[in-house]
Amino acid sequence: MSTIPAFGLGTFRLQDQVVIDSVSNGLELGYRAIDTAQIYGNEAEVGAAIAASGVRREDLFLTTKIWVDNYSPEKLVPSLKESLAKLRTDYIDLTLIHWPAPGNGVEVETFMKALAEAKAQGLTRQIGISNFNIELTKQAIAAVGKDAIATNQIELSPYLQNRALVEFLQSEGIHVTSYMTLAYGKVLSDPVVGAIAQRLNATPAQVVLAWALQLGYSVIPSSTKRENLASNLLAQTLRLGAEDMAQISALERNGREVDPAGLAPQWD
Q: List own/partner pairs for 235-239 with CB under 8 A and 24 or more apart.
A: 235/7, 235/202, 235/205, 235/206, 235/207, 235/209, 235/210, 236/6, 236/7, 236/210, 238/200, 238/202, 238/206, 238/207, 238/210, 239/210, 239/214
Kindly tell me the number of DSSP H helices and DSSP E strands found in the chain: 10, 8
Q: Which of 31, 40, 71, 159 is catalytic?
A: 40
Active site residue 40: yes
**b/e burial code for range 9-36 (CB count within 10 A of at least 16 → b):** bbbbebeeeebbbbbbbbbeeebbbbbb
Q: In what order do the strands lie in the sheet with 218-219?
A: 9-10, 33-35, 61-66, 92-97, 124-130, 149-155, 175-179, 218-219
Q: How far apart are CA 142 and CA 213, in angstroms?
A: 29
The end-to-end CA distance of the chain, in Å, is 25
Tell whether residue 175 is among the known ligand binding residues. Answer: no
Catalytic residues: 40
Residues flagged as binding site for substrate: 98
Q: Which residues make up each annotated binding site?
A: 98
